[in-house]
Chains A and B, each alone.
Chain A
Amino acid sequence: MATEKKSVKAINFNLGKQELDLLTRLCNGVAVSGDEQEVRQIVLEEVKGLADEVTTDALGNVLVTKRGTAPNRLRVMLSGHMDEVGVMVVKDSEDGTYEFRIVGGIDPRQLVGKPVQIGRDHKPGVIGAKAIHMTTPEERKVAIPVEQLRIDLGPGAKVAIGDRGTFATKLAVLGPSLRSKALDDRLGVFNLIQLLKHAPANVDLFLAFTVQEELGLRGAKVAAFSFDPQIGIALDSTPANDLPAFDADEENARYNTHLGAGPAIYLMDGATIGDRRLVNWLSESADAAGIPWQYRQPGTGGTDAGAIHKTRAGVPSVSISVPQRYLHSAAGIVRKQDLINTFKLIHTALSRLDPSILNS
C-alpha cells in the first residue's frame, strides 16, 4: 500500500532477548477472563518506575499514566486486554475428571485432545475423548458438545468449582513466527509495555491493561470512564483467514487479514466504526515511515474500542491488530515481523500526532 515517499524514520525496534523473554512470560501466564491476577502481576512489575501513575481499578484493570513533555499534548488512551479465553470447572465427578464450561469464545472442536492447565497452580490435565478404536464413523462426523467433555486431572489432583483454566501450550519461536496460546491479546499488552519504555514526548499516554474483554469489553468500559481521553486506540489481535479458499479456483474474498502483510487497521467491526481521521492518520503514518500495513476487512467482532468510543460525551477511536492464524485455539501463529511493525506503526503515528487532527 505504501506509495508515499519515506519521509519519517520509524523507531529502531526488534525482538531481542529481553523482548522475547517478556513475550514468553506474558503468553505463558494464565489470565482467563475474570481472574487476570497472574498477568496483572507481570504488568505491574514491568511498568514499575516507568510511569507517572499506576493504579489497579475496581474491576482489575491496570491504569498507567505517562505524561509527555511537549506543549499541547493530546490525551491518548491505548488499551490491550490482559484476559484470554479459557474454561471454568463446574462439576467434580469425584474420579479425577471435571465437567467444565467455556469462558469467552472457543470452538468446542478446538478443545478435544488438548493438554490444559487448571487453577492458579496450573494443575496439568487433558480434555480427552474416546479413542478412534472405540468410535463409529457417524460419531466422528459430529463435534462433541462441551457438556459431554471432561477435563481429566487424574485422581487426587483436586480443583474447585469455579477454577479457571486454559490450554497448556508454551510459547515457541518457529522461524519467522511465534506460536502460542493467548497471543490475543498478550501482544497488545506487550506493545503497551514497549510504548511505555519508548514513550513519545508529544502525547499524554493513558495505557489501560484491561480485564474481561473476551466477555464483552467490560474492563475497557470503566477504564475509559476513568481516563476520560480525547482519543482511543485498542491494540488487539485479529484472525488471518488467509489460507487458500475451499475451491482453489475461487478467490478468497473473506481473508479478514493476511499474515506478514503488517498491522491491520480497522475500518469497522461489530462494535465500532473506526474514526476516519484516525484511520487515515494511521495509514499515512505507516506510508510515511515505509511500514507495511493492511486494512482489517470490515466485519463482525469487537475490540476495546467498542467500549471506549461510547464513553462519556464520546471518544474518537480506532483499533489496530496483529494478524493471527488459529485465534482462540491452543496454538495461534503470528509473524514476528507483523508484531514489530505493529509497534513501529503505533510509535511512529503517536510521535507525529498533532492536536489539530480533532478539528478536521
Chain B
Amino acid sequence: MKTEKTQKNDDLMSLIQTLVETPGPSGQEHRIRETIKEMVTGLADEIRTDALGNLLCRMGSKQANGKRIMVSAHIDEIGLMVIHVDDNGFARFIPVGGINPLTCLGGRVIFMNGARGVIGAERLEPNTMPKLENLFIDTGATSAADCPVKIGDVCGFDRPMLDLGKRISAKSMDDRIAAVIAIMAMRELAALPAAKRGPNEVWFVFSTQEEVGIRGATTAAYGVDPELGFAIDVTLTGDTPRAYKRPMALGKGACIKVRDSSFIADTRVVDWMINEAKSLGIPYQMEVLDAGGTDGRAIQMTRAGVPAGCISLACRYVHSPSEMVDKDDLNACIKLTAGLVSKEVKL
C-alpha cells in the first residue's frame, strides 16, 4: 500500500514527466498546448487559444473588490530548426532560443514528426570551442533522399526525466515546471469552496514563443488586459561549484523576483508576494538576477502599463538537457501562487 504522501509525489512526478517530455519548441507548441488544455478543462470557467497560440484560461469572475490578474507560464522550450540537409543526409540547424553549443555535443533530439537524431561535430582543433555552425544532426540517414527531416523541421532535446528524491532533473524545466505550478495552483483553487476562491478574475496563461523574445505573452497580455500580473519562470542559481555569485539557491524556497535584465518588478507586487509568503509560512528567497527576462516584462509593458512581478523556481543548469529543481521549492511556488490569486489584493 502506498502512503498518501507517496501517492501525491507519484502523481506530481507523473505530471512533471508528461509536461517536460512533450516536445514543443517555440512556434511548435500545439502538442503541449493540447496536453495542458486537457488537464485544465473542468478547472477553468473559460478557455481560449489566441492568434499566437497562447492558451488563456479564466477562473472566476471579477467581483467589486476583485482584480483581473494574469499569471503567465510559457510552454515553449528551446530547440533546433533544420536549415539544410546535405547530400549525405546530415542536417544543419540554427537555434530556436538560447542554445549553448557545449550542451549540444553528444545530445539526442526528437523532431515534431517523431524522427530522432544525435548531434555530431565537425573536426575541431584542440582546445577550441565548437560553434553551432560546426554541429549537425545525424538522423541515421544515408542521403538527403532518405533523411526523415527537411528544411524548417524543428526538434527539441530528447532526455527522460530523472527523479532524484529531493530533487528532479529534466530538460525543459524551463518552463514546463512553471506550467506544473500553474496547473497545480488551478487545482488548489478549484478545490476550494466557491466562497474561498476570492474576488478575482484570474487568467492562467500558458504562453508561446518566450524563448525567442517574450512574444506570446506580449499579445496574451494585450488580450487579457490585466490589472495586475506575474510570470512564473525558472531562475539561475549560484549554488554550484565555482558558479557565478548569485543569491539564489536550491532548497531555499520560492524566489520572489526583484529584477532581471529586462524588468524591474513593481515594488508593490514584491511586497504583496512577501506578505503572502510570510502569512502562509511559505519559505521564500529574494531573486536579483543579472541576466534574462520573463513574461513579466510583457505584462508590465502592455497597453498603458500593469503592475507586474514574477515568481521563480531556482534551477541549476538552465538551458541544458539536465536542468535541476528542488521539490520543496516547487511546492512553495505552488502554494504561493494559489495563495496570491485567491484573496482580495490591495497593493
Contacts and interface: CB of A to CB of B under 8 A. Distances in A.
Interface of A: 251, 253-255, 267-268, 273, 276, 279, 295, 297-299, 309-316, 358
A295 B212 CA distance: 20
Contact of A267 (B50, B81, B218, B222): B81
A268 B96 contact: yes
A313 B226 CA distance: 13
Contact of B94 (A298, A311, A314, A358): A298
A251 B84 CA distance: 10
B209 A273 contact: yes
B50 A295 contact: no
Nearest to B51: A314
B219 A295 contact: no
B52 interface: yes
B305 interface: no
B152 A316 contact: no
Given A298-B152, A309-B215, A310-B219, A315 B26 contact: no
A310 B298 CA distance: 11
Given A254-B83, A297-B84, A312-B219, 5 more contacts: A251-B87, A273-B215, A312-B222, A312-B223, A314-B220
Contacts of A267: 81, 151-152
A299 B133 CA distance: 12
B84 A253 contact: yes
Given A298-B151, A309-B52, A268 B81 contact: yes
4 tightest A-B CB contacts, nearest first: A314-B219, A273-B27, A314-B51, A313-B223
Contacts of B152: 267-268, 279, 295, 298
5 contacts: A251-B86, A268-B96, A295-B151, A310-B219, A316-B51
Interface string B60-91: 00000000000000000000011110110000
Residue from B26, B94, B209 whose CB has the most chain A CB atoms within 10 Å? B94
B335 interface: no
Given A273-B209, A298-B83, A310 B151 contact: no
B293 to A, nearest CB: 15
A314 B151 contact: no
Nearest to A297: B83
Contacts of A276: 27
A139 to B, nearest CB: 31
A315 B52 CA distance: 7
A314 B298 CA distance: 13
Given A254-B84, A268-B96, A297-B84, A313 B27 contact: no
Contacts of B83: 253-254, 297-299
Contacts of A299: 83, 94
Contacts of B212: 273
Consensus secondary structure, chain B interface: mixed
A253 B92 contact: yes
B87 A315 contact: no
Interface of B: 26-27, 50-52, 54, 81-84, 86-87, 92, 94, 96, 133, 151-152, 209, 212, 215-216, 218-220, 222-223
A278 B232 CA distance: 31
B26 A273 contact: yes
Residue from B83, B87, B92, B133 whose CB has the most chain A CB atoms within 10 Å? B83
B135 to A, nearest CB: 12
Contacts of B218: 310, 314
Contact of A315 (B27, B51, B220): B51
B83 to A, nearest CB: 5
Contact of B151 (A273, A297, A313, A358): A297
Contacts of B209: 273
A310 B50 CA distance: 12
Contacts of A315: 51
Contacts of A297: 83-84, 151
A312 B52 CA distance: 11
A250 to B, nearest CB: 10
B27 to A, nearest CB: 3
A347 B216 CA distance: 30
A298 B133 CA distance: 13
B27 A268 contact: yes
Nearest to A250: B86
A309 B216 CA distance: 10
Nearest to B223: A313
Given A254-B84, A297-B83, A298-B151, A313 B219 contact: yes
A358 B82 CA distance: 26
B50 A314 contact: yes
A239 to B, nearest CB: 14
Nearest to B212: A273
A358 B51 CA distance: 8
Nearest to A253: B84
B223 A314 contact: yes
A49 B46 CA distance: 46
Contacts of B220: 313-314
B92 A310 contact: no
A314 B54 CA distance: 10
Nearest to A312: B222
A22 to B, nearest CB: 34
A253 B223 contact: no
